[in-house]
């Protein structure tokens, strides 16, 4: 079992920044990637970024490329999503996810995601 706990969401004006955190606990030996998704009201969940734990490489959606950055703190089992130059269209519930080849429910950015956090709300006002 893997548990993911997000934090860091909030309200910010357009052009501002936020940093989301995701702390992982538990263990899935097939996990080699983690990432962030978001879902706005009335829209489908969409991928934001994926990070590959061993390779250290990242993949981002075109809509956030150059503005958002994922980083890892392996000793703390934590990944971060640094969000800069935020836009009103970035408003959504943001979810942390971890890869799992045993129970994958969504594939995006080269990662088979199977563990999900509860989400943290990000609201960007114009």
Backbone angles phi, psi at 18, to 5 degrees: -145, 155
What is residue 66's predicted lDDT score, i.e. its pLDDT?
Answer: 97
What is residue 30's predicted lDDT score, i.e. its pLDDT?
Answer: 76
pLDDT band at residue 55, thresholds of 50, 70 and 90? Answer: confident
What is residue 117's predicted lDDT score, i.e. its pLDDT?
Answer: 97
The total number of residues shown for the chain amounts to: 126
What Cα–Cα distance (Å) separates residue 44 from each residue in 5, 39, 40, 74?
A: 21, 6, 7, 30
Token look-up 């408003």 returns 91
Taking residues 75-85, what's their average pLDDT? 95
What is residue 91's predicted lDDT score, i.e. its pLDDT?
Answer: 98
The overall average pLDDT reported for the chain is 95
Task: Provide the phi-psi class of 53: left if phi over 0, else alpha when psi is between -120 and 50, else beta.
Answer: alpha
């Amino acid at each position: 079992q893997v548990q993911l706990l997000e934090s860091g969401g909030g309200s910010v004006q357009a052009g501002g920044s936020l940093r989301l955190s995701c702390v992982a606990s538990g263990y899935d030996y097939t996990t080699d990637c983690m990432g962030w998704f978001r879902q706005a009201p009335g829209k489908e969940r969409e991928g934001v970024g994926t990070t590959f734990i061993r390779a250290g490489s990242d993949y981002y959606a075109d809509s956030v490329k150059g503005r958002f950055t994922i980083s890892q703190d392996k000793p703390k089992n934590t990944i971060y999503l640094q969000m800069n130059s935020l836009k009103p269209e970035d408003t959504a519930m943001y979810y942390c996810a971890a890869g799992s080849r045993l129970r994958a429910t969504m594939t995006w950015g080269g990662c088979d995601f199977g563990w999900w956090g509860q989400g943290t709300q990000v609201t960007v006002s114009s």
